[in-house]
Structures are given as structure tokens and as C-alpha cells.
């Protein structure tokens, strides 16, 4: 499957400051989380993709369009939701969505119909008839999302789509993104600081730090620990259980929350755990294969401890 | 979608699915969920038109603007009456006598002498072009520039400053829109209203002239006037709208842009008045000393008045002065336009560079 976004050795300098340093990246369809600390180059990368700033060197493609040369075509096929609180002054919600649809060349009447349809999808009901400047942060966030998707673009670039939303609205927003990617085949580049958001809906993760790609991998691969291990929580005391396990030569770590991590081959391990727990007169509350948390991956990547594959 | 890494809680997922599903009845019976869109697209060049129409619609909500547009058409009444009177005088000698007595009270110059001579000889057809051009020039030279300053002062200040304040540039330029289209779209809003107070009234005046003349053969002798009207309109619109948008792009507060706009015209006008008065006083002193009449040389400071600089070029456009007389003024207008547009493009590109 060809990559939706394919970048090769992209660099961007602002004077003497190098914001992007030879970024090479392939992004497939589905949801890709773009992570990085502040100043990592995420926004610059988005601006380069949209052709809002010129890259200093490198080349790349988005869909079938060449970066830098076919910026208008790219912007016609991309829905961008900016992080900044930007709106069109003096317009109602529905008017502003209609307006941006018309800028994407939808005919006026069709743009209005489509604006209503998308505002329904985004959960802006009667508020759509209010002036945008009277909107709360959450409403503006939904409005920007509606503006990004109103022209039905195949690629979405969403910059902090869930910031400023309450927990319930955040889940709803993530689900909208999931629906677009899963049911409508959109390629979504999700740029956020909220790691659980990326964990919950992304297929792949790109971590930028100091303008360089530190990690670009599928989430499944990333979350797989170097050594297979099992996380076990018991119903009762664990001392006897731990001793029995260690007698079998299996390394065990006790974590601060009381759960145990059993290192080693997983084959036949679960049956052994059940049996041992039974012999020790205790029960197993939960037993799951251990995975690296995205937070750990992120911190390691930012510190430069992970190598991009 | 998720790899089961750390899935959403089941209740939250259920609620989220519920809120975004087709079955959700919170949004009314028309809520259809997300649907793909396909249909015909409007031509690419219409993007600037979308911006212009939005600007026109939003400006139209200002009741002061509507009042000004009505007022802007008032000069049409007496200028139209002037053309009507001239054409009637061409047909009826009695009207000529009345016109002669009215012209006596007016200050005379070469053009006036020519018109008076035409009245005396009864050969009004030979001066028709001059009279029509003079009346239409009066519209462009005196009344409409004043209306233009007020109308542009009402419309232009928020056009870009509001986009700066609300950071709407990201919404515009993340679309397939160039900076040029954005600027033309904004200029289009101003041009539409300026055409409504200059080009359209002037062309209407010309049509009134044709309709009130003895026959349609007058078109043969006045065919160039519509072209001059269009040229005069372009000269009125281009530098002024570029300057107004330049001011608007320099600030996030539209009142600052409005203040700068009016200050340029008012201070320029006062500078012209002060310098002209000084020169007239100096000339009078010389007349007293040497008993000779000297035409006062026009000071370069008078070019600070945009109103008079525009007027000099309009004077040339309607054939009442030579190109040489208008050259400096024309150069000033070109410089104003180029510098204003350069600043404008720089300012609207600036948010993208950050």
C-alpha cells in the first residue's frame, strides 16, 4: 500500500534555527499520532505539508501531489484543524462552515446544506445560529473540526483536536475521528500532547524531537516489550506465590501498585500462574501481557534512547 | 482501530458511539452521521468572489453605510439637471438666455470661456463633449472623493484587522487559496461599494445625457466619456483601496486603521490648504510691491494632499490638463499603490512564517 504522506530528507530553517532536520517519514492511511515536546517541529511539519511555509530542502508527496509545487492541490485534499483559536469574526457557526466550504469550491447552496449536515455530525445544534465569538472553547473546537471536514477531504490534519474539551466531549471527538478513519477511509494525522488520545485511536505513532523523527512505527510494534512478560494481580497476599515462581527460575518484579511482572517466555505461563496461585491459596484478579506504555516510549524517544527503525 | 493498547473505557466508548451514531436523536430527525460528499465544484477563480461577497454582505449590515450610499447619489440630481439643461438649451434659444445669465456669476477660466462662447454662437454641439466631461469630472473631482473617504473609512478598517485579531488567516490559507486571491477578494469588497458611488452614478449620468439629447448621434461625439469614467474609477479605487487595506493589515484594532485612514486625508487636506493660503498671501504681497500679477508656483507640499493629488489625475483623465501636469500626481498614486500592496502582502504572509 502506498503511503499517504511520503517525506524524504525534509529540512526547514528559520534563519539559523533548524526547525526540521532531514525528516524522512511515510504515513499510511488510518490514524497516525504525531507527538513531540514543545518546539519539536510538529507545527512546522504541518505547515510544510500544507505549503504554508517553504521547506529549505528535501522532497515529499501527499497523496499524488508534490510538496512545495502542488500546494493548492494538497490544500484542496486536506482538512486542517488548527490548534490556534481562529475564527471568522461576525459570522454564525453555520455561516462560517458554509464559507470555508465555498472556499473549497462547493457551490453556495450545497455548501450550506453540507454545513448543516456536518454541524449535526459535530454536535453543534442550535448554537450554530449564534455568532462564533460567543462560543465556548469546546464549541469553537467542534466548529474548527466541522470546518476541517466539511469538504470531505481524504486526508485530515488535526492539531490538538481534543484540547479544551470536557472528558465526555473528548471521547465523543475521538470517536468522530475514529468513525472518519474506520468507516470513511480518511487518513488522519493527529497532532496532540494528550498521549491517551493517541493510544486510544491511533494505528501508528510518529515522535518528533529537536526537529528529527525519533520514532515512526506502528503502535502495536512499539508497545511490544523487548522481553515478553506477564502482568499479574492477585486477590490475596503474594509472598508465597512470588517465592514459588522464583523457585522455577522466573524473574519477578513487584510494582508499586502491588501487581507482579513475570519475565520470560509466555508459553504455558498462564496455566502455570493459575495453578501456582491455587496451590498458594490465593486467586488471580487479572493477568495481561505487559506492554510498554506510550508515556515511557515518548520519554525514551525524546531523550534519544530509542532508535527509529 | 485501536491495538487494544489502552482502550477507552467501555461506558465512554458506548456514549461516544451513541453521540456520533445515526441513531442519535439528540440532533433531530435529519441527523445522518457523517456522509461522504461528491458533486460538481465551482471554478477555481470564484474563490476571491466568495471573499468579496462575504465582505459586501457583512458591510451591508452597517446602516451608516446605507445612508452614505443614498447621499452619494445626491450630486446626480444637480449634475443630471445640468446635462438636461444643456441639451434643452441646444434645442430652445430661451433656455440659452437663462443659461447665459446663470454662467455670468461663475468664475471664468479657459473652459468656461469656451462654453460661454458656444452659448453666444448657439453652437452647443461643438462644446457638448466639454460640458458633459466637465460635469462628470465634477462628480469624480469633488463630491465622490469625499464620499469615497467616508465609505472606505467605514468598510475597510475591519476587513483585514479582524482577520488578524481572530487569526482567521489559518482558516483562509489552509484552503486552496493564494494570498493574491485573498487580497483581491478583500479589494473586491471595496471596489463594489466604490463602483456604487462613482462608476455607476457617472455612467448613469452619461446615459441621462444621451437620453435627454436631441438624438442618439451624440454618442458619436461623446463615445470616449464612458472609457474616461472607467479610467477615473480605476484611478479613484486602486490607490485608495490598497492604502485602506494596508492600514487595516497593520493593526488588530480596526479603529486604529480607521483613524489612520481619516488622518491621512484630513491632514493632507489641511496641509494643502495651509500651503496654498501661504502661497496666495505671498503672491498678494508681490502684487502690492511690484504691481504685477504672478501665478503662484505650486509647492511640492501640496502633493501631500491625497485628495488634490487624485483630483489632478482626474482632471487629466477628463481632458482638462496635459499628461505632463498630472505626471507627478500619477507617480505618487502608483507609489502609494505599490508600497501599500507590498506592505499588505508582507503583513498577511507574516502569520504563516511564525
Across A54-63, B27-36, B60-69, B165-174, least confident range: B27-36
Residue of B34, B49, B180, B349 for testing the chain A interface, max A β-carbons within 10 Å: B34
Kindly state the average pLDDT of the residues A137-149.
93
Q: How many Cβ atoms from other residues are within 10 Å of residue A218's Cβ?
A: 16
Which one of A53, A88, A110 has the shortest CB-CB distance to B168? A88
Q: How much is the pLDDT for A299?
A: 80
Residues of chain B contacting A151 with CB distance shorter than 8 Å: 37
What is the distance in angstroms between the Cα of B351 and the nearest Cα belonging to chain A? 10
Task: Report pLDDT digits (tens) over B150-181.
Answer: 999 999 999 999 999 888 888 899 999 999 99
Q: How much is the pLDDT for B17?
A: 54
Q: How much is the pLDDT for A142?
A: 93
DSSP code per residue over B102-132: HHHTSPP-HHHHHHHHHHHHT--GGGHHHHH
Q: Helix or strand or coil: residue B354?
A: coil
C-alpha A93/C-alpha A100 separation (Å) is 11
Task: Report pLDDT digits (tens) over A37-79.
Answer: 888 889 899 999 999 889 999 999 999 899 988 999 999 999 9
Q: How much is the pLDDT for A9?
A: 93
C-alpha B197/C-alpha B144 separation (Å) is 7
pLDDT at B353 > cutoff 60: no
Using pLDDT thresholds of 50, 70 and 90, give the confidence band for residue B121. Answer: confident
C-alpha B155/C-alpha B148 separation (Å) is 10
Q: How much is the pLDDT for A304?
A: 67
Report ipTM (2 d.p.).
0.80
A217 CB within 8 Å of a chain B CB: no
Q: How much is the pLDDT for B20?
A: 53
Kindly state the average pLDDT of the residues B33-50.
90
Kindly state the average pLDDT of the residues B107-129.
77
| Residues in B 177-206 with any Cβ partner in A closer than 8 A | 177-178
Q: Quick one: DSSP state of residue B303? A: G
Residues of chain A contacting B39 with CB distance shorter than 8 Å: 106-107, 110
Q: How much is the pLDDT for B276?
A: 82
Q: How much is the pLDDT for B289?
A: 66
Return the sign of the alpha-carbon dihedral for residues A205, B173, A145, A102: negative
What is the distance in angstroms between the Cα of A279 and the nearest Cα belonging to chain B? 32
Percent of chain B topping pLDDT 90: 47
C-alpha A48/C-alpha A26 separation (Å) is 15
B237 vs A163, higher pLDDT: B237
A300 vs A151, higher pLDDT: A151
Using pLDDT thresholds of 50, 70 and 90, give the confidence band for residue A226. Answer: low
Between chains, do B167 and A84 touch, taking CB under 8 Å as contact? yes
- Which residue from B minimizes the CA distance to A103? B47
Task: Report pLDDT digits (tens) over B77-105.
Answer: 888 888 888 888 877 878 877 777 777 76
Q: How much is the pLDDT for A289?
A: 77
Reported for A260-263, long-range contacts at CB under 8 A and 24+ positions apart, including other chains, are: A260/A231, A260/A232, A260/A233, A260/A234, A261/A229, A261/A230, A261/A231, A261/A232, A261/A290, A262/A229, A262/A230, A262/A231, A262/A232, A263/A227, A263/A228, A263/A229
Q: How much is the pLDDT for B7?
A: 40
pLDDT at B12 > cutoff 80: no
Residues 6+ apart with CB under 8 A from A303: none
pLDDT at B24 > cutoff 60: no
Kindly state the average pLDDT of the residues B42-46.
89
H/E segment holding residue B98: helix B93-104
pLDDT at B51 > cutoff 50: yes
SS (H, E, C) chain A: CCCCEEEEEEEEEECCEEEEEEEEEEECCEEEEEECCCCCCHHHHHHHHHCCCCCCEEEEEECCEECCCCHHHHHHCEEEECCCCCCCCCCEHHHHHHHHHHHCCCCHHHHHHHHHHHHHHCCCCHHHHCEHHHCCHHHHHHHHHHHHHCCCCCEEEEECCCCCCCHHHHHHHHHHHHHHHHHHCCEEEEECCCHHHHHHHCCEEEEEECCEEEEEEEHHHHHCCCCCEEEEEECCCCHHHHHHHHHCCCEEEECCCCCEEEECCCCCHHHHHHHHHHHCCCCEEEEEECCCCHHHHHHHHHCCCCCCC
Between chains, do B40 and A167 touch, taking CB under 8 Å as contact? no
A171 CB within 8 Å of a chain B CB: yes
Q: How much is the pLDDT for B3?
A: 40
Residues of chain A contacting B28 with CB distance shorter than 8 Å: 120, 125
pLDDT at B63 > cutoff 50: yes
A103 CB within 8 Å of a chain B CB: yes
Q: In the predicted model, what is the mean pLDDT of chain B?
A: 84
Between chains, do B41 and A87 touch, taking CB under 8 Å as contact? no
With CA atoms as reference, report the closest residue to A81 among A151, A130, A23, A30: A151
What is the distance in angstroms between the Cα of A12 and the nearest Cα belonging to chain B? 11
pLDDT at A305 > cutoff 60: no
Across A34-38, A131-135, A151-155, B274-278, least confident range: B274-278
Contact of A176 with A121, CB cutoff 8 Å: yes
Residues 6+ apart with CB under 8 A from B16: A171, A172, A174, A175, B8
C-alpha A54/C-alpha B129 separation (Å) is 55
Task: Report pLDDT digits (tens) over A244-283.
Answer: 888 888 888 888 778 888 887 667 778 888 888 888 888 8
pLDDT at B287 > cutoff 80: no
pLDDT at A194 > cutoff 70: yes
Residue of B28, B170, B185, B248 for testing the chain A interface, max A β-carbons within 10 Å: B170
Over the range B196-226, which residues count as b (16 or more CB within 10 Å of their CB) and which as e?
Answer: ebbbbbbbebbebbbebbeeeebeeebeebb
B151 vs A164, higher pLDDT: B151
Using pLDDT thresholds of 50, 70 and 90, give the confidence band for residue B22. Answer: very low
Using pLDDT thresholds of 50, 70 and 90, give the confidence band for residue B5. Answer: very low
Task: Report pLDDT digits (tens) over B192-236.
Answer: 999 999 999 999 999 988 888 877 888 888 899 999 999 999 999
B91 CB within 8 Å of a chain A CB: no
Using pLDDT thresholds of 50, 70 and 90, give the confidence band for residue A144. Answer: very high
Q: How much is the pLDDT for A309?
A: 42
pLDDT at A24 > cutoff 50: yes
Our CA dihedral for A272, A277, A279, A281, rounded to 10 degrees, sits at: -170
Give me the total of CB pairs closer than 8 Å, taking one residue from chain A and one from chain B: 171
What is the distance in angstroms between the Cα of B12 and the nearest Cα belonging to chain A? 6
Q: In the predicted model, what is the mean pLDDT of chain A?
A: 88
With CA atoms as reference, report the closest residue to A89 among B118, B168, B310, B11: B168
| Residues in B 24-63 with any Cβ partner in A closer than 8 A | 26-28, 30-44, 46-47, 50-51, 54, 58
Amino acid at each position: 500500500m502506498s503511503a499517504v504522506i511520503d517525506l524524504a530528507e525534509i529540512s526547514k530553517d528559520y534563519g539559523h534555527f533548524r526547525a526540521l532536520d532531514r525528516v524522512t517519514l511515510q504515513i499510511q492511511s488510518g490514524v497516525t499520532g504525531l507527538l513531540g515536546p514543545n518546539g519539536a517541529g510538529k507545527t512546522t511539519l504541518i505547515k510544510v505539508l500544507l505549503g504554508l511555509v517553504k521547506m529549505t530542502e528535501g522532497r515529499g508527496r501527499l497523496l499524488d501531489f508534490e510538496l512545495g509545487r502542488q500546494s493548492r492541490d494538497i490544500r484542496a485534499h486536506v482538512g486542517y484543524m488548527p490548534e490556534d483559536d481562529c475564527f471568522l469574526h461576525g459570522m454564525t457557526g453555520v455561516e462560517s462552515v458554509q464559507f470555508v466550504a465555498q472556499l473549497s469550491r462547493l457551490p453556495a447552496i450545497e455548501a450550506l446544506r453540507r454545513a448543516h449536515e456536518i454541524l449535526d455530525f459535530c454536535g453543534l445544534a442550535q448554537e450554530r445560529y449564534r455568532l462564533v465569538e460567543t462560543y465556548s472553547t469546546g464549541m469553537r473546537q467542534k466548529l474548527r473540526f466541522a470546518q476541517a471536514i466539511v469538504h470531505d477531504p481524504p486526508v485530515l490534519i488535526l492539531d490538538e483536536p481534543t484540547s479544551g474539551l470536557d472528558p465526555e466531549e473528548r471521547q465523543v471527538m475521538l470517536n468522530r475521528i475514529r468513525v472518519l478513519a474506520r468507516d470513511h477511509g480518511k487518513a488522519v494525522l493527529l497532532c496532540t500532547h494528550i498521549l491517551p488520545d493517541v493510544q486510544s485511536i491511533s494505528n501508528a505513532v510518529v515522535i518528533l524531537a529537536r526537529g528529527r523523527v525519533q520514532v515512526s512505527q506502528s503502535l502495536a510494534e512499539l508497545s511490544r516489550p523487548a522481553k515478553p512478560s506477564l502482568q499479574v494481580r492477585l486477590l490475596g497476599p503474594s509472598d508465597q506465590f512470588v517465592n514459588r515462581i522464583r523457585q522455577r527460575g522466573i524473574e519477578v518484579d513487584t510494582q508499586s501498585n502491588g501487581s507482579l511482572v513475570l519475565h520470560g517466555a509466555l508459553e504455558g505461563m498462564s496455566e502455570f500462574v493459575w495453578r501456582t496461585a491455587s496451590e498458594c491459596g490465593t486467586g488471580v484478579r487479572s493477568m495481561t501481557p505487559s506492554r510498554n506504555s506510550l508515556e515511557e516510549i515518548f520519554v525514551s524517544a525524546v531523550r534519544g534512547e530509542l532508535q527509529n527503525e | 482501530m485501536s491495538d487494544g493498547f489502552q482502550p477507552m473505557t467501555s461506558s465512554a466508548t458506548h456514549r461516544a458511539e451513541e453521540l456520533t451514531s445515526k441513531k442519535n436523536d439528540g440532533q433531530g430527525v435529519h441527523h445522518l452521521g457523517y456522509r461522504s460528499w461528491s458533486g460538481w465544484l465551482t471554478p477555481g477563480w470564484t474563490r476571491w468572489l466568495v471573499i468579496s461577497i462575504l465582505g459586501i454582505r457583512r458591510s451591508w449590515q452597517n446602516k451608516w453605510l446605507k445612508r452614505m450610499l443614498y447621499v452619494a447619489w445626491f450630486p446626480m440630481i444637480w449634475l443630471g439637471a445640468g446635462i438636461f439643461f444643456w441639451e434643452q438649451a441646444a434645442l430652445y434659444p430661451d433656455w440659452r438666455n437663462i443659461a447665459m445669465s446663470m454662467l455670468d456669476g461663475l468664475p471664468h477660466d479657459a473652459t468656461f470661456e469656451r462654453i460661454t462662447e458656444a452659448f453666444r454662437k448657439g453652437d452647443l454641439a461643438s462644446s457638448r463633449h466639454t460640458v458633459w466631461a466637465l460635469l462628470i469630472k465634477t462628480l469624480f473631482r469633488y463630491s465622490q472623493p469625499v464620499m469615497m473617504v467616508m465609505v472606505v473609512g467605514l468598510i475597510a478598517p475591519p476587513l483585514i484587522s479582524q482577520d488578524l485579531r481572530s487569526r482567521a488567516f489559518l482558516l483562509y490559507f489552509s484552503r486552496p487559496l493564494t494570498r493574491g486571491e485573498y487580497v483581491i477578494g478583500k479589494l473586491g469588497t471595496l471596489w463594489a461599494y466604490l463602483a456604487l458611488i462613482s462608476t455607476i452614478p457617472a455612467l448613469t449620468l452619461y446615459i441621462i445625457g444621451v437620453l435627454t439629447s436631441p438624438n442618439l448621434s451624440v454618442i458619436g461625439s461623446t463615445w470616449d466619456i464612458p472609457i474616461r469614467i472607467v479610467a477615473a474609477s480605476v484611478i479613484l479605487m486602486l490607490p485608495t483601496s490598497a492604502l485602506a487595506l494596508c492600514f487595516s493589515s497593520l493593526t488588530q484594532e480596526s479603529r486604529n486603521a480607521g483613524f489612520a485612514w481619516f488622518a491621512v486625508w484630513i491632514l493632507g487636506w489641511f496641509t494643502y490648504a495651509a500651503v496654498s493660503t501661504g502661497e496666495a498671501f505671498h503672491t498678494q504681497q508681490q502684487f502690492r510691491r511690484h504691481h504685477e500679477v504672478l501665478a503662484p508656483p505650486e509647492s511640492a507640499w501640496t502633493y501631500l494632499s491625497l485628495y488634490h493629488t487624485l483630483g489632478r489625475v482626474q482632471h487629466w483623465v477628463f481632458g482638462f490638463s496635459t499628461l505632463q501636469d498630472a505626471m507627478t500626481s500619477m507617480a505618487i498614486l502608483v507609489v502609494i499603490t505599490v508600497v501599500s500592496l507590498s506592505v499588505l502582502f508582507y503583513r498577511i504572509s507574516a502569520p504563516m512564517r511564525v
